[in-house]
Every structure is written in structure tokens, then in C-alpha cells.
Amino acid sequence: MKKIFLMTLLITLMIPAMAQQGDQPLVPYRKANLWGFADADRKIIIAPAYEEADFFSEGFAAVKKGGKWGYINKTGKVVIPFKYTVAKPFRVGYLAKAGKIVTADDIDDNQKSVLFAAASLRSDGYEICIGTKGETMQGCPAIPENSAGDLNKAPVTITETNYSTVKQNDIFDKIVGDYKMLGREDNYYIAVKDTSYGVFNNKFEVIIPFEYSKISPISISGLAYLIVEKNKLKGILLGNGSTYVSIENSDIVHVKAKNNMDYFIITKEGKTGVKSSNYSEVVPMEFKEVQYDRNGAFIVTGTDGMKGVYFLGGQKTEVKYTEVRLERGGQYALLKAADGTKSVISSDGNNFFEN
């Protein structure tokens, strides 16, 4: 009985570890000109045998062989034949119970979920939707996700509110926002006088003079920051009116990143970079464009049009790629070079390729 108990206990302890190992992501891995899949430690699991490979999604990965795309499962078995000119990742969609196709606005708990992928059998790329056995669907299911692009600058806007309890006087014409400062009881009001923006407190003391064309408030760790604009240039003031970033930039965009940290994408004299909320350099001010990818990285574009990635953890790639795509929540980047060669790099600096 004691031996049986010990064996049962050992198996019980092993099952979660085995399940966790089986759930490890498989990453596209290129060896010379052929693609297979490796685990996160770069150990090859599915031998390189394909012309191209995409990331696994919902248990399926699109792979290319003989000039056409098909799908394999995580054992490497071909589950949908190689016959497509386009093969996109599988995802979850929703159908009405009776099989009626619904729009995203119609989705509720009564809809049936279904796996599907967009694919094309035609040379012109006209897409259809297919199921997990490769069958053509009558229509494409609705998807709950926002279908907007991955790149998101997250601009800040001012929400206008009715401040009827604040006594109007000669200081302002209209209040358009407010904020508080950490450790202070006063309320601070962003207001407009004629066409200029400024800030006063609940004692009607002008804290920031009415000389700006726009003021946008941001709260970072309980501290008030204000992106201000004057003479078509932007800067950042603290809530008490002191200067944090000089008003000499053509653009400043606040980003609340996936790691819950705040960043500023700043453009000055045609050069763009990124500063953290404590104004330390994250991306140097030397790029034509910087955009935040909501998967968790900054995509940079050089003056020659080539792209690179600055991961939130500090790792970065060279800026020499024509295309960049973030995968699995920003953990990996799929990169395409000018000669068409694709590679995968992880956010911790591992290369998933051998030349």
C-alpha cells in the first residue's frame, strides 16, 4: 500500500510538469532555406522541411511546400493539404446557433464559437474562410477582437465635462478638464480663455498661464503630467506648471505599454525616439518614425525605410528589415530582410535560425 501511495503521488506530481512541457510554444525555426519548429530553448521539435512557416495558432500552423500553403498540427502531421496561395492563422469566430453568420456587433453568449482561417485558392489572393478540416465555409464567422492594426500610438484626448459647480469669473470661459496632484488637496482645472488654454486651482489662482493652444492631462503613478502645445511645438509640464520637457518638439505621444509602464514617443527636427516616464532613453532620437506595437515593442523605421524592433525588456534588433511582425504577445519578432529571407528572434535575444 505504501508503494502504491508513493507511485500515485509521483504520478500526480509529474502530470502538471508533463502538461506544462506539452503546452510549451513551438517557434518557427529556419535552418538555411528550410523551416521547421523549435521549443523556446531552440531545441528542434519538427524538422526543417518547409519553404516557409508561420506561428502556431489554435493548434495549427500554416507551412509552405512546393509553392503552396497547407496546415500542420503540433506533431508535425499535415492536417490540411498544400493547396493554398494564402494561408492565415486559425482564430476563434462566432456563429449564430442556427448557423446564421453574424457580425461582431451581434456577438453574445448565445453564439457558437468555431475555429476558422482565411485562405485563398486563387492566384489573385481572393480569400475564403476554411474550417479545421479544410472545408470551405459559407461565410466568415464574426470575430470579437478589434480588427484595427497592431500599431497603436495611443493618443491622449481631453474629455469635456460640465463643471457647473465652479464659479465662472474673468479667468476663464470654459473648463475642459481637471486633475489633482499627489499630496495636495487642491483641484486643478484646465480651462480655455478666448482660444488659449491654461490651468487654475480651486482658489482661482492661475497655475499655468493661458498661452497654450492645447493642454492634455496624463496621470502616471499618481503624478500629473501635461502635454502642452504652443506655436505648433509640444512639451511636457508637471501639474504645478514646472517644465519637464522643453516646448521644442514637433510631436509627443504618450504610451501606456503592455508592461504597465509609461513612455513618451518624441519627435524633434524630424528625428524620433522614446523616453520613459523618468525621461531615461529607451529608443535613441535618430529614427524617421517610431510606433508602439500593442503586442509589446517599439517598431522603429530608419531614414532609409528599414525597420527594427526595440523590445520592452531592453533587447533590440538591427534596423535592416523590410517587414517586422510581433508574435505571441511580443515574445517573438518575425523579420523579413531585403532579399526576402525571414528570421525569428525572441525578446530575450535568442535567434531561431541557422544560416
pLDDT tens for 207-246 read: 999 999 999 999 998 899 999 999 999 999 999 999 999 9
Write the pLDDT tens digit of every residue in 64-102. 999 999 999 999 999 999 999 999 999 999 886 555 555
Of 23, 50, 24, 59, the closest CA to residue 132 belongs to: 59
Single out the residue in 210, 236, 262 at which a domain terminates.
Answer: 236
At residue 95, the pLDDT reads: 80
127: in domain: yes
Write the pLDDT tens digit of every residue in 320-351. 999 999 998 899 999 999 999 999 999 999 99
Q: 161 and 219 in one domain?
A: yes
Q: 296 and 347 in one domain?
A: yes
Write the pLDDT tens digit of every residue in 290-304. 999 999 999 999 999
Output the DSSP codes for 69-117.
EEEE-TTS-EEEEEEESEEPPPEEEEE-TTS-B--GGG--TTSEEEEEE
How many residues are recorded in the chain? 355
Of 45, 6, 4, the closest CA to residue 28 belongs to: 45
More confident residue, 6 or 248: 248
The residues near 118 (Cβ < 8 Å, ≥ 6 apart) are: 86, 88, 127, 128, 129, 130, 140
% of the chain surpassing 70 pLDDT: 81
Q: Beta-carbon neighbour count of residue 93 at 10 Å?
A: 24
99: in domain: yes
Q: 130 and 56 in one domain?
A: yes
**Most distant CA atoms of the chain, gap in Å:** 89
Task: Confirm if 238 and 226 have CB atoms less than 8 A apart.
Answer: yes
> How many independent structural domains does the chain possess?
3
Q: 122 and 211 in one domain?
A: no
Helix then strand then coil, % of the chain, to nearest 5: 10, 50, 40
27: in domain: no
The residues near 2 (Cβ < 8 Å, ≥ 6 apart) are: none
More confident residue, 71 or 16: 71
Single out the residue in 99, 122, 147 at which a domain terminates.
Answer: 147
Q: 300 and 268 in one domain?
A: yes
21: in domain: no
31: in domain: no
30: in domain: no
209: in domain: yes
Q: 298 and 265 in one domain?
A: yes
298: in domain: yes
Interatomic CA distance for residues 214 and 237, integer angstroms: 12
pLDDT above 80 for 34: yes
Q: 50 and 73 in one domain?
A: yes
Q: 258 and 169 in one domain?
A: no
Band the pLDDT of 113: cuts 50, 70, 90: confident
Of 74, 83, 71, the closest CA to residue 122 belongs to: 83
At residue 18, the pLDDT reads: 38
Q: 190 and 170 in one domain?
A: yes
Q: 104 and 158 in one domain?
A: no
Interatomic CA distance for residues 60 and 3, integer angstroms: 41
What integer best gives the mean pLDDT of the chain? 87
Q: 271 and 232 in one domain?
A: no
At residue 143, the pLDDT reads: 80
Please give the backbone phi and psi of residue 135, each rounded to the nearest 5 degrees, phi first: -75, 140
Single out the residue in 112, 147, 182 at which a domain terminates.
Answer: 147
More confident residue, 265 or 165: 265
pLDDT above 70 for 3: no
At residue 14, the pLDDT reads: 47
Domain extent at residue 64: 46-147
Q: 162 and 143 in one domain?
A: no
